[in-house]
Structure formats: C-alpha cells, structure tokens
Structure 1
C-alpha cells in the first residue's frame, strides 16, 4: 500500500499554494477561508493556481454555512464552476444536501452536468449523509464523481475510522474514498493501519501568531491563523512513501 499514495493539500492563499507545491503535494484543493471549511477561491487566486505544475481542484461553495441550496445559491455555484473552467483548473469540489442531511440528487446532478469535462470530488457534505453512507456512495458513483472526501461523519478521520472502513468496503473499486480532517504525521499511522487508501487529504498547516493586534481586534484575522507549511507537506509525503 506504500506505492503511489497521492497527497492532496488544501490551501487558501498564494503563500499556501507555494508551500504545498514546494513541499511535494500531488494535488491542490484550492479554497478561500479554510477556517470555515473552505469557500470558492477568488478569480485572482485561481489564475495564480492555474500556473501550478500539479492538478488544482477548486472548492465550489459560495457561502459559509450548510450545503442546502436554493435557486439563488445554485446560480452562484454554477457561476463559480464557470470561473474555474475559465481559469483552466483541473477540477471542482462539489457537494449539496437536502434538509435531512441526505445528498441532494437534483442539485448535484445540475452541478455535475455543468462541470462536464472537469474532474470532480464530492466534498464533506457527504459526512452529513450518515451514518449509513451506502446510498450516498452509490449516488456519487452514479453521477460520475472521481472521489469522496470524508472523515466518516466525525470531526476527524481518526474518530471516523469505523465508518470510513465501511465506506471503503462498500465503494470497492468503483470510486476513491479519500480520508481527510485531522490527517497529520501523528495520526497517519493509525489511519493507514485501518484503511486501504490511495489518496489522502491534509492541510499540512501550522498555527501562527498574529503580528498585527489591530487586525485581530477588528476581526480581520483569526486568533491563531493556520498556514500551510512546506516542511509538514514534505514530512507527510515522506511518511506516505515508507
């Protein structure tokens, strides 16, 4: 299982993008505002990422909050897909739920059709569809997603190992299951001992101190913002190769 495991790193800034690439990431999930779980990146960041030497998939999520979308939300999401295509990125990261947490077939079908020709990841809206994830996996396969990013419905992949193992068993070779959330050097051993993953997702980030106290006071930055660290990317890649 040690051969050719792909590391996807999520980033939300030019600095993070550069750090992920220099550290040896295999693919980028490009976002804005990772502290809210990731939003659609700006056109400027997409344009910068289009020059990356590795595939870049952009988050399609126009607002924070849940993944229950009305007609206006859908219009924004479809326009975001258009922006990704115009930038020349490799793919999109999609998700939509019904109020009961199940995946929204109608919304996802529309998003998938609009994303034709782009790679597609189903994001952690999937985690709201549990605890029985079988139907959600079947829908993702039917719609043509390449992979599902999931923590097994828990706050971290480590806590969701039992559900993740069931997801791998149900998915088989029909779709990739990509563990994510809380994936780092410390948790990798326990995750790989339980799951036959071929792709894994991490922020590879470290918390940093705020240098401008006024910016913190005015609410422009988080108290302990996280930044992608090339050394952490490099270390995780090396651990995956062992």
Structure 2
C-alpha cells in the first residue's frame, strides 16, 4: 500500500499558455522547454522570464539541453549549459532539469558536478539521460552521490507501465534520498495504476493536443509543421482538459 502523501504533478510545457494551464490545474511544477517533439530543448531567456512572471503557484523548472540527440556533450556544450543555468537562475527559475553522460554511456560525474554547482540553491532534476545510461543501478548510485533533487524516468521503457518494475525498485533504493518521478505516456486514466504499482509520489507528463493547420496554398509545397503532428494539423499545444484531468486524478489518489 502506498503511503498517504500528496502526489505532485509536473507538466512539460513549451509556452506561456502551457504555464497558465498547469498553474490553473494545480500542478506543482512545469518543466519549461521548447522542442518537445525531439525530447525538449532549452527555452530562450524571454520565455523563461515571462513564465516565471506568469506563474502564480506552479514552480518553473527549466530544461537545460542544448541540442537533440544523445546526452554526451563536448566541453563547449557543457560550458553553454552552465551559462544557461546561471541565466535562468537570475531570471527566477525555481529549478533546472539536466543530465550528461560520458563517452561510455555512464553518468558523467565531472560534467554533472559542474552543472550542479552552477545550480546551487535550486532544485535539480536528472532527466531521461538516465533511461539510456549504460548501468541503471550504478547510475542511480551516482545520482545519489551527486545530490540531485529528483530523477525523471520511465523505467527505461517507452511506457511507464512497462517500466514500472524498475521504477518500483528505484523508489525502494531511494529511501527518501531522492524523489523518483515517473513519466512515459502518463495520463489521467493510468495515473492511479502507476502510483499503486510503483509507490512514486511525483508524476510527469507533457499532455498535448494537435492544433489544426491553416489552409495550405496550392502554390507551395513548403511546410513547417511540427514533427509527428497528424495530417491537417500544424503543431502541438498543452491540452487544458487533459492536464486538469491528470491533476484531479493525482488529488484523488491516496
């Protein structure tokens, strides 16, 4: 039986509208980013500043990821990430979301230590670099030693339900030393099941719907639609109804 503690919901958002939706629904945090269709990228300073200003109750945690692809970063990229952390800290962000792997796919102790130092005093989440690291248990021990606030994971599976066994094990190993936050296809209709299976008290989801496209001119073959949108759509936006339902499901879970 899970302990009767509040379940916190974090929503992945790309816009001010997304921040306001998450805030109104009662989410605990937003993970602010751009490029969710490629796993999320660092947002620009103007968006971070505006998001912090728009947030009334929700915390703004900023994803620090300079490019799509793997999580092995050059020294130059790590320096840029550190600069971004220092910038969003000055802009009032409550936390950052980071993760660096070394050339062997292990948690990069040196690079992550540097970024954690830049984020001193902020909450720091290790993102899903963990889900592709070479050794999940060794990697988890490293995250504990480094002092991350929380770990975002789908249990190294596409679906959180498929990864539930590993997530459950990590919650047990954490023993309160780090928050384990579950993700991976999380929605209102499976949130209770995920909590019952794993014991997590933190849920993460980017709940989005496709936005219809403007009529396409017959005189052009050019399109800038977002990767993965259904035919006739242009991009994705935060789903207010889906976010509200997820937050309500979390509130009803004991």
- Tell me if TM exceeds 0.5: yes
- RMSD over aligned CA atoms reads 1.9
Aligned twin of 1:164: 167
Q: 1:33 aligns with which of 32, 35, 45?
A: 35
Residue 218, structure 1, aligned to residue 223, structure 2: yes
Per the normalisation by structure 1, the TM-score is 0.93
Aligned twin of 1:86: 90
Distance 1:136 1:70 in 2: 20
> Paired residues, what number?
241
Aligned twin of 2:148: 145
Quote how far apart the aligned CAs of 1:105 are.
0.9
Quote how far apart the aligned CAs of 1:207 are.
2.8
Between 149-158 and 16-25, report the one with greater CA deviation. 16-25
Conservation of the 8 A alpha-carbon contact between 1:150 and 1:180: yes
The 5 A counterparts of 1:34-183 are 34-51=36-53, 52-53=55-56, 54-129=58-133, 132-183=135-186
Quote how far apart the aligned CAs of 1:64 are.
1.1
Conservation of the 8 A alpha-carbon contact between 2:195 and 2:201: no
Q: 1:235 aligns with which of 235, 245, 251?
A: 245
Quote how far apart the aligned CAs of 1:232 are.
1.4
Distance 1:82 1:69 in 2: 18
3-state DSSP class of the match of 2:241?
Answer: helix
Aligned twin of 2:18: 16
Between 110-119 and 87-96, report the one with greater CA deviation. 110-119
Distance 1:148 1:8 in 2: 12
3-state DSSP class of the match of 1:219?
Answer: coil
For structure 1, which runs of at least 5 residues remain unmatched after alignment?
Answer: none
> Which segments of structure 1 move beyond 6 Å, counting only runs of 4 or more?
none
Distance 2:202 2:239 in 1: 19
Residue by residue, what CA displacement relative to the aligned partner does 1:160-185 show, whole Å, maximum 9, x if unpaired?
11111121121121111000121002
Conservation of the 8 A alpha-carbon contact between 2:226 and 2:236: no
Conservation of the 8 A alpha-carbon contact between 1:62 and 1:80: no
Aligned twin of 1:207: 210
Q: 1:191 aligns with which of 191, 194, 199?
A: 194
Residue by residue, what CA displacement relative to the aligned partner does 1:182-241 show, whole Å, maximum 9, x if unpaired?
100232233122111111101122233323546994325343432212221211111112
Bigger Rg over Cα: 2
